[in-house]
């Protein structure tokens, strides 16, 4: 009888394997979440930062509210864009810009077609 109690006590103390097997799914879940969610978001933020630093007057932008326009003027932290045919001027902070479309390539293409005429 004492042998069986001693044997059961030894089996219950081997908890290090149990701890590792309990933590492994959480570690794997964190690694998967990092590669599927956190890393792509950081990559996207870095790309947007590069786009914001390379903005020039005349580039087409879209704000986080969905307003699309071309940059009319820029200051350190604000951008004025004009929208629509009536050239409505709206001023935004740079942090409100969601995406930037370079217009320099389109302008060069227009100039080259004008030169060919």
- Taking only the tens place, the pLDDT of each residue in 66-81 is 999 999 999 989 999 9
What is the predicted pLDDT for the residue at 87?
84
Q: Calculate the CA dihedral of residues 85, 89, 93, 96 and round it to 10 degrees.
A: -20
Q: What is the pLDDT of residue 70?
A: 93
Say what the pLDDT of residue 101 is: 87
Mean pLDDT computed over 73-93: 91
Break the chain into its structural domains and give their ranges: 1-53, 55-117
Which residues, 6 or more positions from 70, have their beta carbon under 8 angstroms from its beta carbon? 58, 59, 60, 61, 81, 82, 103
Q: How many C-beta atoms surround the C-beta of residue 100 within 10 A?
A: 19
Q: What is the pLDDT of residues 22-54, one digit of tens each?
A: 899 999 999 999 999 999 999 999 999 998 899
Percent of the chain whose pLDDT exceeds 90: 58
Angle, CA 110 vertex, CA 109 and CA 115 arms, to 5° = 95
Residue 12 clears pLDDT 80, i.e. is over it: no
Q: Which CATH class is domain 55-117?
A: mainly beta
Q: What pTM was estimated for this model as a whole?
A: 0.59
């Amino acid at each position: 009888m004492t042998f069986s109690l001693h044997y059961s006590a030894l089996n219950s103390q081997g908890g290090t394997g149990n701890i590792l097997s309990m933590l492994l799914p959480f570690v794997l879940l964190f690694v998967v979440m990092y590669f599927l969610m956190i890393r792509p978001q950081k990559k996207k933020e870095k790309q947007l930062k590069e786009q914001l630093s390379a903005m020039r007057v005349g580039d087409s932008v879209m704000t986080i509210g969905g307003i699309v326009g071309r940059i009319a003027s820029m200051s350190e932290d604000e951008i004025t864009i004009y929208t629509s045919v009536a050239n409505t001027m709206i001023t935004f902070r740079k942090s409100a810009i969601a995406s930037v479309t370079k217009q320099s390539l389109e302008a060069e293409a227009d100039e080259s077609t004008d030169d060919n005429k």
